[in-house]
Structure 1
Amino acid sequence: MIIQAPYTRPVPFTNGLINNYALLPEKQWSSLHLRLPSELGNGGLRIFTHQNLHFYRGKWKFYNSTGFQALDEVGTNDLIDFRISRNHHMQSAYVQGVKKFAWDVTQVDGIRMFIPKALLPSDRRIIDKKIEQFILNVNINLLIDHLFEIDPAESNNTLLLEAKFLELIHYFTQHLNKGEITQLLENNRDYEAKQIETAKEILDHHLSNPPCIKALSKEIGLNTRKLKSGFRDTFGITIRQYIIQQRMLLAQDLVINSDYPISIICQMVGYHNRGHFASTYTKYFGHLPHQAREKTN
Structure 2
Amino acid sequence: MSKPLILVTGATGNTGAPVVEQLLEKGYPVRAFVHRLDERSKLLSELGAEVVEGDFLDISSLEAAMKGVKRVYFVYPPADKLLEATMNVAIAAKREGIYGLVNMPQLPSREAAPSSLTYSHWQSEQILDWADIGASHINPTFFAEDLYLFTGRSIASEGKMYLPFGEGKHAPVAASDIARVVVATLIDPQPHVGQRYAITGSKNMNMLEVAQVLSNELGKKVEYVDLPLDYWREALTQQPEFSEYLADHLAHVAQDHQDGVFSVQNDLVEQIGGLPPQSVEDFVRTHIDNFTA
TM-score of the superposed pair, with normalisation by structure 2: 0.27
Structure with greater strand share of residues: 1
Rg larger in structure: 1
By relative contact order (CA 8 Å, sep 6+), the higher-ranking structure is 2
TM-score of the superposed pair, with normalisation by structure 1: 0.27
